[in-house]
Amino acid sequence: MSTTQNPPRQMMFQLSLRRRGISDQAVLRAMEEIPRDMFVEAADRAHAYRDSALGIACGQTISQPFVVAYMTEQLQLQQNHRVLEIGTGSGYQAAILSRLCGHVLTIERYRTLADRARARLAELGCDNVEVTLGDGFDVPADAGNFDRIIVTAAMEQIPDALAQRLKPGGVLIAPVGPHQGTQTLVRLVRTDAGFERKQLVDVRFVPALPGIAREL
């Protein structure tokens, strides 16, 4: 189970997000409600509420809280939205999304991460999240289209096949750039005329790789 946040740590966690420009009250509330210490490795629990990325199993990371909050805020979620997440990781981002939308389908290429995330999300009662072992570059056709798509690993470019899974008016957020280096968060909005693309902030994510991992 989660360790209990003491009030000063909880207050500083929220204050840090507000100081960095997170203003959506629903996002801030979700960040407060979801215990980040449940999603980090046991050795890192004392550092769970620092604004930094931390390592998890399979050589992956849990993103720093500001990046999670920022990407979530940029999605402009509504309670009826259906969301696709590429890269489940620890499950933390999916847990935040679950408080703000109707349904989350999250795809993870590492079985260990998918299984652990599924267990954590069930423990938290995130019943509107479906964790699937799969290839984020090859989303099953029967999964349908989505109001929002969030990619939590670096893509050298956004595949057109993924962008096409957005419903009209849909929004996609992804870190785009070289795998070894700095990427830029890109926000795509599907319009009647095509896609509006906006570059947001520089970030660093682990690479998004095709296929299902053979091990782990």
Domain assignment present for 212: no
Annotated catalytic residue 90 = no
Domain assignment present for 2: no
Mean of the per-residue pLDDT values for the chain?
93
Check residue 6 and give its pLDDT. Answer: 54
Domain assignment present for 119: yes
The percentage of the chain sitting over the pLDDT mark of 70, rounded to a whole number, equals 96
The pLDDT tens digits of the residues spanning 87-138 come to 999 999 999 999 999 999 999 999 999 999 999 999 999 999 999 999 999 9
194-203, strands of its sheet edge to edge: 129-133, 103-108, 82-86, 146-151, 166-176, 183-191, 194-203
Check residue 216 and give its pLDDT. Answer: 59
What range defines the domain where residue 21 resides? 7-203
Domain assignment present for 65: yes
Check residue 3 and give its pLDDT. Answer: 47
Average pLDDT over residues 80-85: 98
Check residue 7 and give its pLDDT. Answer: 58
Q: Flag whether pLDDT at 20 surpasses 90.
A: yes
Check residue 152 and give its pLDDT. Answer: 96
Q: pLDDT class for 21, splitting at 50, 70, 90?
A: very high
The pLDDT tens digits of the residues spanning 35-46 come to 999 999 999 998
Q: Flag whether pLDDT at 8 surpasses 90.
A: no
Domain assignment present for 211: no
Domain assignment present for 208: no
pTM over 0.85: yes
Q: pLDDT class for 1, splitting at 50, 70, 90?
A: very low
* Marked catalytic residue, from 52, 63, 90, 98: 63
Domain assignment present for 215: no
Q: pLDDT class for 168, splitting at 50, 70, 90?
A: very high
Check residue 9 and give its pLDDT. Answer: 74
**How many domains would you assign to the chain?**
1
CATH number at residue 151: 3.40.50.150
Domain assignment present for 116: yes
